[in-house]
Amino acid sequence: MESLKKILGVVWILLAVVTAYFCVFEFGIPKLYTGHQEDLVFGIIILCILTPIISIGMAVFGYFALRGEYAKKKM
Amino acid sequence: MNNAKKTLWKVIGASSLGTLIEWYDFFIFGSLSIVLSTKFFPADNPTAAFLSTLATFAAGFVVRPFGALFFGRLGDLIGRKYTFMVTLMLMGGATFLIGCTPSYESIGFLAPLIVLLLRLLQGLALGGEYGGAATYVAEHSPEGQRGYWTSWIQTTATFGLFISLVVILLTRLLLTEAQFDEWGWRVPFVLSIFMVYVSYLIRKNMDESPEFKRAKSEGKTAKSPLRESFGNTYNLKFVLLALFGAAMGQGVVWYTGQFYSMSFMKTVMFLDTDQADLILGIALLLGTPFFVVFGKLSDRLGRKWVMLTGMLLAILTYRPIYEAMYQLTNIEKKTEQADLRRQTVMAKETAAGQILEETITKYFTDGTTVKHITTSMPALAQDGGTQDEAVQFKPSQKTTVLISGINYVCLVILIFVQIVYITLVYGPIAAFLVEMFPVKIRYTSMSLPYHIGNGIFGGLLPAVSTYLATNAQLQGKVDFYLSGLWYPIGVAGVCFIIGAIYISKSMNANAVKP
């Protein structure tokens, strides 16, 4: 189980990258150019607030997992 | 009943009532958003529309987590009781003032600006309230019963939504449509101040939480809760685990059951608005006691698997549940009683010309009634109309479905099942989060993951689900209406795996060492 926790750390880091890509290129930037003010505000919030929280948070979580911070003896 | 238990019930009553009122205050803004937009945010004015958008998104996404940090820090420094008294007053005051703010017609741009600021204050207060109330109750609860006692706090979010729907419905029933539109919509906001005052009177006589009092007398409170919560690797890893292993999945399950289901009934199933509200109201009422049931169960079985069971059931059954919901109003599979079909045409004279409203009512053998309402302007159709007329009038088509009998019962059950999932994940989570962190940084550390999980992961649900459903429709998928569910299923799936692998039973028993 301890090895699995570490290996999955890589998965969470990759997931953070995928999430960042999706948030920025599929969801955030296109919203800036729709011409609707509502979309513009939402796009800015996605890019400046949601993406950093979700992606950086997930990446740090993955890094901690990879480093073995969630091993039973360290909890 | 012994004295300790009496005191505990007083604590629960005082905390729950205040939190209930805060949720009520937060939800009436959303429930009355259509009326508010006409009073404060006219769509034809770009600045007002911009402020409206900010009010919609900023209150949930930005200000709630910020409120969690701001008031969490305060709660860990000066105490739980005083902090959640402040959040209560802030929320009550802001809600009352929204009800008193003159409309855009009276004071122009100042009106949407004031309402935006008050809405942001609401978000800030909500961000601070929940963590305080949950911590306060948990710190009064006997060891081994935290799940049960904090579950009463957990009922407040769902019950707050229910009360907001009831108050709005009653106000509409007691007033004429014109009265409600003119001033009646202010009643639910103004009412809040009386409820907050009662809650304030009850809360002000309560003692500070015993655990915080002890920590303070021993000089063990945090000097800098934010730094100790998020600047310390040991604690930060628990904050992240709380977010990705519990709060994130809980947030999407909660939003799917309470809000996505409502939106699905109204916009995909075309169910009559009042009927959809009533069905959700019944399901909420039937489901609410289960918060306490699963909170108590988590004291016996552990928080982890009760919460994760809710997530797993949601992941496995959301698509069949929504498919079944969709089929309840799918008229392609129903038999129409053609001889009962009615067609009426009503003409309305307006300044721009005559508007025709054609209604076709169809009756089906299973008791379903479908109304197709089409409005048109014959003058426009004939000569294209003038520019002004074209701006003023937009032809529309609307379909409304009314169900009855077994279909109605089935829909209530399908929504109720989703509410039960919410109670599984949400019932034990306050106790779970409280037990994860030590007293000195508990308020700060538990509030942030909770509000990111709910405000951000849950709050993104409508936008992401709409995006997924629209894409699926463009690709011509037959079951495009189910595609929006991939977002809650995916988020809950990741959360389930993280929770199952990384959260250990012993973790909660050993409060995090500083």
Tell me the chain B residues in contact with residue A53 when contact means C-beta distances shorter than 8 Å. 65, 452, 456
* Stretch A5-23: mean pLDDT: 95
User: Does A8 contact B463 at a Cβ distance shorter than 8 Å?
Assistant: no
Amino acid identity, residue B208? E
Q: How confident is the model at residue B102 (pLDDT cuts 50, 70, 90)?
A: very high
Query: Would A54 be classed as within a structural domain?
Result: yes
Strands B353-363 and B369-376: antiparallel
- Contact list in B for residue A72 (CB cut-off 8 A) is 504, 506
Q: Does residue A75 sit within a domain?
A: no
A55 occurs within a structural domain: yes
Residues 6 or more apart whose CB falls under 8 angstroms from that of B173 comprise none
Do the domain assignments include residue A74? Answer: no
Q: Identify residue B113 by its one-letter amino acid code.
A: L
Residue of B346, B340, B376, B511 lying closest to B436 (CA atoms)? B511
> What dihedral do alpha carbons B174, B179, B182, B188 form, nearest 10°?
-10
Contact, B135 vs B434, CB < 8 A? yes
Structural domains in chain A (count): 1
The mean pLDDT value of chain B amounts to 88
> A10 in a domain, yes or no?
yes
A57 with B240: Cβ contact below 8 A: yes
Q: How far is B203 from chain A (nearest CA, A)?
A: 34
Q: Tens of pLDDT along A15-47?
A: 999 999 988 998 889 888 887 777 787 788 888
Residue B231 burial (10 A CB sphere; 0-12, 13-18, 19+): exposed
Q: Which residues of A touch B50 (CB under 8 A)?
A: 37, 41
Min Cα separation A14/chain B (Å): 13
In this prediction, residues B126-153 reach a mean pLDDT of 90
Q: Could you tell me which of B313, B321, B509, B310 has the C-alpha nearest to residue B426?
A: B310
Q: Is the pLDDT reported for residue B479 higher than 50?
A: yes
Compute the count of residue pairs across chains A and B with CB atoms less than 8 Å apart. Answer: 66
Q: Testing the interface with A: which of B33, B37, B51, B57 to mutate, by most A Cβ within 10 A?
A: B57
B396 alpha carbon, distance to own chain's centre = 30
Min Cα separation A57/chain B (Å):
7
Tens digits of residue pLDDT in B483-513:
999 999 999 999 999 999 999 876 654 443 4
**Chain A residue with the nearest C-alpha to that of B510:** A75
Mean pLDDT of chain A: 89
Structure confidence by residue, pLDDT tens digits, B272-321: 988 998 899 899 999 999 999 999 999 999 999 999 999 999 999 999 99
Residue A35 sits at the chain B interface (C-beta within 8 Å): no
Q: Which helix (H) or strand (E) holds B354?
A: strand B353-363
Q: Does A10 touch chain B (CB under 8 A)?
A: no
* More confidently predicted of B230 and A75: B230
Q: How many CB atoms lie within 10 A of CB B245?
A: 27
Domain of residue A57, residue span: 2-68
Residue B57 clears pLDDT 70, i.e. is over it: no
- A27, A38, A45 ranked by CB distance to B62: nearest: A45
Look up the pTM and report it: 0.89
**Residue A17: both structure tokens together:** 């990258």
**Angle value at C-alpha B250, between B18 and B55, nearest 5 degrees:** 60
Asked, for residue A6, whether it belongs to a domain, the answer is yes
A61–B240 CB contact, under 8 Å: yes
Q: What is the percent of chain A with per-residue pLDDT over 90, rounded to a whole number?
A: 49
The verdict on residue A35 lying in a domain is yes
pLDDT of residue B395: 77
Q: Chain B within 8 Å of A6 (Cβ-Cβ)?
A: no
Whether the pLDDT of residue B413 is over 60: the answer is yes
User: What percent of chain B stands above pLDDT 70?
Assistant: 93
Interchain CB distance below 8 Å, A50 and B456: yes
* Chain B hits for A60, Cβ within 8 Å: 236, 240
Does A52 contact chain B (CB < 8 Å)?
A: no
Which letter, b or e, does each residue of B162-199 get, where b requires 16 or more Cβ atoms within 10 Å of its Cβ? bbbbebbeebbeebeeeebeeebbbbbbebbbebbeeb
In eight-state DSSP terms, residue B158 is H
The identity of residue B424, as a single letter, is L
Q: Quick one: pLDDT at residue B512?
A: 39
User: Shortest Cα distance from A28 to chain B (angstroms)?
Assistant: 11
**CB-count burial class (<10 Å; 0-12, 13-18, 19+) for A38:** middle
Considering only alpha carbons, which residue of chain B is nearest residue A8? B498
Inter-chain touch A37–B507, beta carbons under 8 Å:
no
Q: What is the pLDDT of residue B418?
A: 97
How far apart CA B491 and CA B250 sit, in angstroms, is: 10
Q: Is the ipTM of this complex over 0.95?
A: no
Concatenate the DSSP letters of all residues of B372-396 into one string.
EEEEE-HHHHHH---HHHHHH---E
Cα B413 to the center of its chain, rounded Å: 20
Using an 8 Å CB-CB cutoff, list chain B residues near A42.
53, 57, 463
The answer to whether A42 contacts chain B (CB < 8 Å) is yes
Chain B CB within 8 Å of residue A24 CB: no
Phi, psi of B385 (to 5 degrees): 70, 170
Contacts of residue B240 in chain A, CB cutoff 8 Å?
Answer: 57, 60-61, 64
What sign results for the dihedral spanned by CA atoms B202, B294, B281, B313? Answer: positive
Cα gap B460→B462, rounded to integer Å: 6
B371-375 contacts: CB < 8 A, separation 24 or more? B371/B399, B371/B400, B371/B401, B371/B402, B372/B397, B372/B398, B372/B399, B373/B397, B373/B398, B373/B399, B373/B400, B374/B398
Q: Tell whether A21 is covered by a domain.
A: yes
Specify whether the CB–CB gap between B441 and B76 falls below 8 A: yes
